[in-house]
Amino acid sequence: MTKELMHFIGGKAVKGQSGRFLDVYNPNTGEVSARTPLASADEVRAAIASAEKAFPDWAAVNPQRRARVMFEFKRLVEANMNELAEMLSNEHGKVVADSKGDVQRGLEVIEFACGIPHLLKGEFTEGAGPGIDMYSMRQPLGVCAGITPFNFPAMIPMWMFGVAIACGNTFVCKPSEKDPSVPLRLAELMMEAGAPEGVLNVVNGDKEAVDTLLTDPGIEAVSFVGSSAIAEYIYATAAAHGKRVQAMGGAKNHAIIMPDADMDRVVDDLIGAGYGSAGERCMAISVAVPVGEETADRLVEKLVPRVQSLKVGLSTDPDADYGPLVTAQHREKVKACIDLGVKEGAELLVDGRDFSMQGYENGFFLGGSLFDKVTPDMSMYKEEIFGPVLQIVRAKDFEEAAALPTKHQYGNGVAIFTRDGDAARSFASQVQVGMVGINVPIPVPLAYHSFGGWKRSAFGDTNQHGPEGVRFYTKVKTVTSRWPTGVKEGSSFVIPTMK
């Protein structure tokens, strides 16, 4: 019998009632490991109602006590790290060490959330006028929703609910239907940590569930991470229904390689950032841009044997560089992009399409591929591939190289490899991309900074976690109070000024 996953509503696991399901796979074997219930609009409304009921009391809990729940949640997640990482690896396909990294990067946001009381303090001006004090405070919004992608099933839900809940909101998470077990387990741990029932709910589902979250008047804010077309739809629909929205989208992250870069280091970094987690990272490097033909030739010479010797293996194999892709469908999409690149005339230096894992022929494995002489007019360059495929675009000089990420429709991450501080500094200042690495291939900001791309990589104006996350999940109220002394004054018909 295939295991049936549940929803998590009002502090307990709840069986799906819609009669609609989607299969969850073990990508190593290709077998169905469970089925996800797809919530009806009514089931989603039940989760919203449970969060609405929990909100007034949770918002009234003092910030330090809420932070103590976060401290305990952190302890519990750490104590269950191995179980969570294995669960994640078996549904997503990333290797266990990388799965622990997924949980750990989420936990770092929980660590940040433990200190959120400090950021909720607001501002105060004493004596803003005669007998007048003015103060502002940050108050929680109400029920917030998070809609998350398959590729970081631990980290991205924690980015969202960690900050939202610590700020006094209650939350409904709609995780990816491809790997929902970890978010469900995290909700259980949040209850065990002391969050009252209804503070964190998880509903599984597809478009019907998402559309309910985007339109229901009970939801105040929507945080989304996923592909750009859906991010744009989420942004437009939720905003049209009067909600706050942050919607992160897809990416095409470039690495500029200057002639003076340390090439061995660059190749190490490109291998990790291009092929780690089978390239299924929104901050993966998918385009390498060597500056000058000589740099390009040196890069190719060193990169080809490294891509050829990548160790693709079971996600449970500690020696594997990366595991299978998330689904057969996604692997076919990536293969089709490689076919297209060949058709468009790029040079396929390493072809991973025929890779098959002995004994696991039904697993969703794909070898690493490397393209050279890719040009910006090719659709393979314009679109996100989200697989173990690295493309080399040769640039004649720094200006041509630097213009590529700036002109690209996506603007999530970018890196420059150089020993020249001046080139690095002007690149970081000019490039139209939200997160920049200088000799750092995957510049994911730490939890106490904020994460977000530009252009079609993010819709809305506040980033995830860090101070921007606190701004997203709170609204400012400003109070002006006057306690006049002496006789009661008459009415004033002129707007008060501070002349």
Active site residue 167: no
How far apart, in Å, are the Cα atoms of 327 and each of 179, 181, 359, 385?
10, 16, 18, 14
How far apart, in Å, are the Cα atoms of 483 and each of 70, 127, 487?
39, 11, 11
Angle at 249 between CA 22 and CA 409, to 5 degrees: 135
Q: What is the DSSP string of 377-401?
A: TSHHHHS---SSEEEE--BSSHHHH
Task: Work out how close the CB of 283 gets to ligand NAD at its nearest, in angstroms, rounded to a whole number.
Answer: 7
Residue closest to ligand NAD, measured at CB:
226
Beta-strand pair 219-225/143-147: parallel
Q: Which residues of 197-206 are buried (b: 16+ CB within 10 A; e: fewer)?
A: ebbbbbbbbe
Strand (E) or helix (H) holding 281? none
User: 370: which 2 tokens?
Assistant: 């490397």
If the CB atoms of residues 180 and 218 are measured against ligand NAD, the closer one turns out to be 180
Q: Which residues pair with 475 in a beta bridge?
A: 139
Task: Work out how close the CB of 64 gets to ligand NAD at its nearest, in angstroms, rounded to a whole number.
Answer: 30
Q: Which residue has the tokens 């980033």?
A: 463
Task: Work out how close the CB of 150 gets to ligand NAD at its nearest, in angstroms, rounded to a whole number.
Answer: 4
Distance CA(436)–CA(453), nearest Å, equals 10
**267 φ, ψ to 5°?**
-65, -45
Beta-strand pair 3-4/31-37: parallel
Task: Work out how close the CB of 58 gets to ligand NAD at its nearest, in angstroms, rounded to a whole number.
Answer: 25
Give the torsion sign (CA, 252, 458, 325, 207): negative
Query: Could you tell me which of 485, 473, 480 has the C-alpha nearest to residue 246?
Result: 473
Strand (E) or helix (H) holding 92? helix 81-92
Task: Work out how close the CB of 215 gets to ligand NAD at its nearest, in angstroms, rounded to a whole number.
Answer: 12
Distance CA(28)–CA(362), nearest Å, equals 8
If the CB atoms of residues 16 and 226 are measured against ligand NAD, the closer one turns out to be 226
Residue type, 259: P
If the CB atoms of residues 58 and 410 are measured against ligand NAD, the closer one turns out to be 410
If the CB atoms of residues 215 and 308 are measured against ligand NAD, the closer one turns out to be 215
Distance CA(476)–CA(121), nearest Å, equals 11
Distance CA(225)–CA(248), nearest Å, equals 5
Q: What share of the chain is helix, strand, coil (3-state, %, to 5)?
A: 40, 25, 35
If the CB atoms of residues 103 and 424 are measured against ligand NAD, the closer one turns out to be 103
If the CB atoms of residues 149 and 323 are measured against ligand NAD, the closer one turns out to be 149
If the CB atoms of residues 200 and 261 are measured against ligand NAD, the closer one turns out to be 200
Task: Work out how close the CB of 212 gets to ligand NAD at its nearest, in angstroms, rounded to a whole number.
Answer: 10
If the CB atoms of residues 197 and 206 are measured against ligand NAD, the closer one turns out to be 206
Q: Which of 167, 173, 282, 337 is catalytic?
A: 282
Distance CA(347)–CA(345), nearest Å, equals 6
Longest distance between any two alpha carbons in the chain, whole Å: 91
Strand (E) or helix (H) holding 249? none
Distance CA(161)–CA(153), nearest Å, equals 13
**424 φ, ψ to 5°?**
-60, -45
If the CB atoms of residues 29 and 327 are measured against ligand NAD, the closer one turns out to be 327
Task: Work out how close the CB of 143 gets to ligand NAD at its nearest, in angstroms, rounded to a whole number.
Answer: 18
Task: Work out how close the CB of 244 gets to ligand NAD at its nearest, in angstroms, rounded to a whole number.
Answer: 17
Query: Could you tell me which of 187, 194, 227 has the C-alpha nearest to residue 14?
Result: 187
Task: Work out how close the CB of 329 gets to ligand NAD at its nearest, in angstroms, rounded to a whole number.
Answer: 10
| Chain residues that interact with ligand NAD, rule: CB under 6 A | 147-152, 174, 176-177, 206-207, 210, 225-227, 230, 248-251, 282, 384, 386, 412, 453, 457
Catalytic residues: 282
